[in-house]
Structure 1
Amino acid sequence: MSRKKQPYINEQVEMERVEDCLHITWIGKPGSHYKLYGGFKPEKDNIQELLEENSTGEFILQIPIDSLPSYYLIQVDDEWSSIFAERVLPLEQAINFRDMGGYRTLDGKRTKWGLLFRSDQLSKLSEQDIKLLENYQLKTIVDYRSAHERKMNPNKEIGTVEETVWCDPQSSFSEAAANAADLNEENIKLVRQLEEGMVDSKYVNGKGLKVIEDYRKMVTSEASQIAYKKFLQVCAQVESAPLVHHCRGGKDRTGFGSMLLLLALGVCDEDIVKDYILTGVIRTERNELKYKLYRELTDNQDYLDYLMSMIETRSEYIKASLDEIRQRYDNTDEYFKDYYDLNQKDLEQMRSFYLE
């Protein structure tokens, strides 16, 4: 039986799915009476159906996967929750496809659900996965992968998608996969680079200094600027939504893009970092498997620590990018203007459309 607890929804609720059964638990300010409402569109006026009410704030519902999307509100006595939904979509062949809704902004708003998504690659989607994404009316895909990655693992076609935008930031995060035919070959290549001294010894430990350095470089590198300008310009064309942006694992290239988008929308740092580190929670089992595979190739602990630092999702990585931006600009809106040609009108239009 498949049991999947959502790694994070918001500060008010927790959710867990067991096949077609959905568990929702209120963890916000306690009350005496709780009412759960549902709807198929992420707007308060369309979330009107009373699904259940009780005095515990715990709800168990039959919500079949093929009936999604579904959005919810909880009334606690006389107060209302914000809109919420399942953040990680219950796909069979993509583990990191998730909704970027519900994040808090500095001025008290939240990102809307059902418009902005981030993911790992879409090359292995099952028929059920494709039908589910079509239910979300996905219109645009932004793919950060290199031409080699796309050739090796082409995305599956999704019927509702009208446009795919390719924008490779040419980051070091894709270099290991650049000439590898499969995962085993990639692992061998990574270990060989360490054994042949191709990685500066100052990085060969578990401190993550190489990743931190790369996240800082992405703030100003020319290739990164070109790629993420394309992404943000797509987001500024609000008719492109619902949209998903993705790389291979949905961690670094997608993580940086997500940080930029959320920062442009005015999301608070706490939730920007939260969104980033969720990938690490989602990929816990995968990373444990990677460690075992690395151990089959080397018993050098410094090598192993370095390799794990490259695949982990540490808060200090994305904070390094945020720090680099703020060291250069007192007003982050100026950064988006200088690097990505987003003027104040563009940013205001994006905030008006993507926030509530």
Structure 2
Amino acid sequence: MEGRNLAWPGCFNVRDLGGLATTDGNRTRMKAVVRADAPDKLTEQGWAALRAYGIRTIVDLRNPAERDKMPDLDDIDVVNVPMDPVDDVEFWTEWGNGLHGTALYFQPYLERCPHLPWAVLRAVTHARPGGVLINCAAGRDRTGLVALLLLALAGVPGEVIADDYEASFPRLSVMAQTLGIEDYEPLTKAMVAQRGTTTRALVLETVRSLDFTRYVSPDDLLVLRDRLVGAD
């Protein structure tokens, strides 16, 4: 993971999706896509680091009520693509109460709401030249699911994708300690264990079950893979 982890003041869970070997012998590009927690928490120095890293588009996965005001970003496109189907009462009745903060909900979500990751991947595909930042609130689950899709589309092995997802856990514990808020990581692990499984197993099963045609068009897939894989 060294070299992929980014220290941007104000955020706690930022890392590049580049530098990972693919099954066809290539490697994901550095500075193409970065995953993060909420960028509206960045300090002035954090925004300077983001710009210096080459980020030119932010794809924000949060719902409007979750977002704080961004600074003026004339040089950066901000695309809001909410991932949570807030009006789907049936879905939240089953997957609310914290379960949506675990990998338990990944496969049910993808089965029920393929149009939402489709919209996100299309936003990444058609972002202007430069780096793309994808974020939610903590940068773990909504962002983690999009990162899973992107890395799987790029041909990164499932075990490596699971490593990337699990890398958020210690960072979010540090965030909780730093901000003096509740650390939800032990709770989420307990919820997964109560279902008789592990986060890694859930991520691996999600990768194995993916049907890419549900999340990206054939034409976009070629563009997206070119964006994700190859020389930096």
Which residue of structure 2 aligns with residue 28 of structure 1?
none
Q: Which region of structure 1 is more displaced relative to structure 2, 139-148 or 283-292?
A: 283-292
Paired residues for 1:19-30 under 5 Å: none
State the Cα RMSD in Å: 3.6
Which residue of structure 1 aligns with residue 66 of structure 2?
149
Identity rate, percent = 23
2:212 to 324, 333, 336: 336
Q: Quick check: 1:215–1:320 contact (8 Å CA) kept in 2?
A: no
Cα deviation 1:135-163 (Å, max 9, x = unaligned): 1231111111111112xx233444530x2
Which residue of structure 1 aligns with residue 83 of structure 2?
169
Which residue of structure 2 aligns with residue 267 of structure 1?
156
1:354 equivalenced with 2:225 (yes/no): no
The 3-state SS of whatever aligns with 1:229 is: helix
Change (3 A) 1:88 1:158: farther
Q: Quick check: 1:106–1:268 contact (8 Å CA) kept in 2?
A: yes
- Structure 1 or 2: more helix by fraction: 2
Paired residues for 1:7-22 under 5 Å: 8-9=1-2
Deviant stretches of 4+, over 4 Å:
287-295, 304-308, 310-313
Identify which of structures 1 and 2 has the higher relative contact order when contacts are C-alpha pairs closer than 8 Å and 6+ apart.
2
Which residue of structure 2 aligns with residue 76 of structure 1?
none
Change (3 A) 1:209 1:320: farther
AA matched with 1:141: I
Change (3 A) 1:292 1:121: closer
Q: Quick check: 1:212–1:320 contact (8 Å CA) kept in 2?
A: no
Q: Which region of structure 1 is more displaced relative to structure 2, 112-121 or 232-241?
A: 232-241
Paired residues for 1:188-199 under 5 Å: none
1:321 to 202, 206, 223: 206
Displacement, 1:287?
5.4
1:216 equivalenced with 2:130 (yes/no): no
Structure 2, unpaired ranges of 5+: none
Which residue of structure 1 aligns with residue 28 of structure 2?
111
AA matched with 1:166: N
Paired residues for 1:29-48 under 5 Å: none
AA matched with 1:255: G
* Structure-2-length-normalised TM-score: 0.79
* Structure-1-length-normalised TM-score: 0.54
Q: Quick check: 2:34–2:133 contact (8 Å CA) kept in 1?
A: yes
The 3-state SS of whatever aligns with 1:107 is: coil
The structure number with the bigger radius of gyration is 1
Could you tell me how far apart the structure 1 residues matched to 2:188 and 2:228 are? 37
Could you tell me how far apart the structure 2 residues matched to 1:210 and 1:341 are? 24
Q: Aligned pair count?
A: 221
AA matched with 2:37: D
Displacement, 1:212?
4.5
The 3-state SS of whatever aligns with 1:103 is: coil
Q: Which region of structure 1 is more displaced relative to structure 2, 100-109 or 311-320?
A: 311-320
Cα deviation 1:265-311 (Å, max 9, x = unaligned): 1111122111111101322334568998489xxxxxxxx96555469
- Structure 1 or 2: more strand by fraction: 1
The 3-state SS of whatever aligns with 2:138 is: coil
